[in-house]
Amino acid sequence: MRKYLYILLSVLVPMSAMAYTLKRVSVHDPSIVWEPVSQTYYIFGSHRAAAKTTDLMNWTAFTAPWATATSNNATNSAALAEAVKWSKRGSTNYSVDGNMWAPDVIWNKAMNKWCMYLSVNGDNWYSSIVLLTADNIEGPYLYQATVVMSGFHTGTTYKDTDLEQVIGTQASLPGRYAIGNGWGRRYPNCIDPCVFYDEEGKLWMSYGSWSGGIWMLELDENTGLRDYDVTYTLTGSGDGVTIDPYFGKKVAGGFYVSGEASYIEYIGGYYYLFVTYGGLAAGGVANDYNNGGYQMRVFRSENPDGPYKDSQSHDAVFTSYLLNFGPNENDGNRGVNIFGAYTSWGNQAKGNFGERSQGHNSIIAAEDGRTYLVYHTRFQNRGEEHQVRVHQVFQSKNGWLVVAPFEYTGEEVKSADMATTQQIATDRIPGKYMLLIHNYKLDHTKKNTASPTEIEMKEDGSITGGAIGTWKIEEGTSYITLKINNTYYHGVMVEQTLEPTDTKAPAFTAIAATTGTTVWGYQTEASAAGIANITIDDDSATGAIYDLRGHRVKNTHSKGIYIRNGKKIIVR
């Protein structure tokens, strides 16, 4: 049987019908957790915001219910009286409303409870992290106790904390804590908890924001509170203390460098630590480098409590103050820049909807075999409006995480598939691409973003156009190596959906381990040598034929658009 095949030079025909839907929510500081009975993902965030979904694309918002032991209470101020009383020391007009930040929820196997670790923020470091529990993931959550407190830097304030329960009775406040406003260089602000089990079943909590850095405590699996049987020997001196008998072990930051929202997940042999640098605002304020620059940086370790290092072997812990974001960053570009502010990308992240100030993320190695990054983002010209985004995450061959360049829209590929399957056939790769390099040192006071340039990846393995280099796919896998402007990037090549349409395109995401920089790319037009009306017997056709989803087909007896040898063809 003969078919007429017309080689197309135009871009892929857009499809009006979408194979998926996206329903947005606004949850600041989203922390993701899986509830297996209902097969539902939940995110919990600051200011009692929460949402749920079964597909990570369509979210339903709800208000997370705090409660006292006897009655429901919108602010739970009665149940949180201990924490509220502590935070009131920091300001005369303190209100807990607006200061319940960044909860993290986890199922405690020993307690048979859902445990919520909630930040109760206060001025002058008078903050604490409290534990609430529930039988149902949607609550009501009941206050149990305070886990850790900060800010006891003067007088007898320590008497209202559990410091003496940890280190013994004290005649007066130990001198290492009696440092007044110097607290912010040495010790943590006790907010932003991340609670996780390690591979041995131990329960840990990382916490802290800016100030003296990110710290780590072992928790008691049976109570969900700190493990009072674990002791920490004072290590380091002055502002350089790295282990403290009360606060545990410092794993990142210090000396008031920026950094908050620690999140740790075990993936493929490593514990990955995410920390968000910079200020959370959308930016655009002249000469105010704290106003904007929110950006996720990544470190990894073989141990849950570190040491955590980036791809350039920089330690996540600072030994002096360095500016670690913005155009004057001078910390050696510490932390893998997994991505940052960008615009003119695909069909959606463009114009006023270019993404910026992405951060305070969570990440989950899910039950479905995929890994998902969940974060909130602001936009280029929409003020402080923010929404949640979900991207799939893969592990490069050299063990660093790379993030899919477009939102998750139901793609079936799994993380483990990268090593065992070639998602994009070699002859589909050549073509024109948009290339986006996520560089460090964006000027957020001017709302700078990364913008793409056009390149061509040719059949001979060369790259030309807006960047010069080479590409090579590892046959039988999805691992790709790119040399771009004399820098090598290692990552994966997968099919992506160019939201909000259903158009599919080959895409890559890769990291340069030597610099910590990430690149994204997606194909805009496949290669085509010319136009020809040709008649071909299916049985004599040479070159594998793929449908638009990248699935190989045995013949072209069905009408439609296909790709063969990197060329788009239509069968009528």
Q: Provide the pLDDT for residue 542.
A: 57
Report which residue type is found at 17. A
Q: Provide the pLDDT for residue 97.
A: 86
Contacts of 71 (CB under 8 A, 6+ apart): none
Active site residue 367: no
Q: How far is CA 398 from CA 124, 273, 311, 461, 465, in A?
A: 42, 17, 10, 21, 28
Q: Provide the pLDDT for residue 511.
A: 98
Tell me the backbone φ, ψ of residue 319, rounded to 5 degrees: -110, 0
β-strand pairing of 66-67 with 100-108: unpaired
Q: From CA 145, how far away is CA 254, in angstroms rounded?
A: 27
- In this structure, are residues 76 and 68 in contact, taking their beta carbons and an 8 Å threshold? yes
Q: From CA 560, how far away is CA 15, in angstroms rounded?
A: 13
- Catalytic residue of the set 192, 244, 260, 329: 260
Tokens of 538: 């299916």
Q: Provide the pLDDT for residue 105.
A: 98
Q: From CA 203, how far away is CA 197, in angstroms rounded?
A: 5
β-strand pairing of 552-553 with 517-526: unpaired
Q: Provide the pLDDT for residue 529.
A: 34
3-state secondary structure of 557: coil
3-state secondary structure of 166: helix
Q: What is the pLDDT along the chain (572 residues), one digit of tens a residue?
A: 333 333 332 333 333 345 678 999 999 999 999 999 999 999 999 999 999 999 999 999 998 776 443 334 444 556 688 899 999 999 989 999 899 999 999 999 999 999 999 999 999 999 999 999 999 999 999 999 999 999 999 999 999 999 999 999 999 999 999 999 999 999 999 999 999 999 999 999 999 999 999 999 999 999 999 999 999 999 999 999 999 999 999 999 999 999 999 999 999 999 999 999 999 999 999 878 778 889 999 999 999 999 999 999 999 999 999 999 999 999 999 999 999 999 999 988 999 999 999 999 999 999 999 999 999 999 999 999 999 999 999 999 999 999 999 999 999 999 999 999 999 999 999 999 999 999 999 999 999 999 999 999 999 999 999 999 999 999 999 999 999 999 999 999 999 998 888 889 999 999 999 999 999 999 997 643 332 333 333 433 456 776 655 666 666 555 556 666 656 665 54
**pTM summary value:** 0.89
Active site residue 460: no
Q: How many CB atoms lie within 10 A of CB 28?
A: 16
- Catalytic residue of the set 29, 104, 265, 331: 29
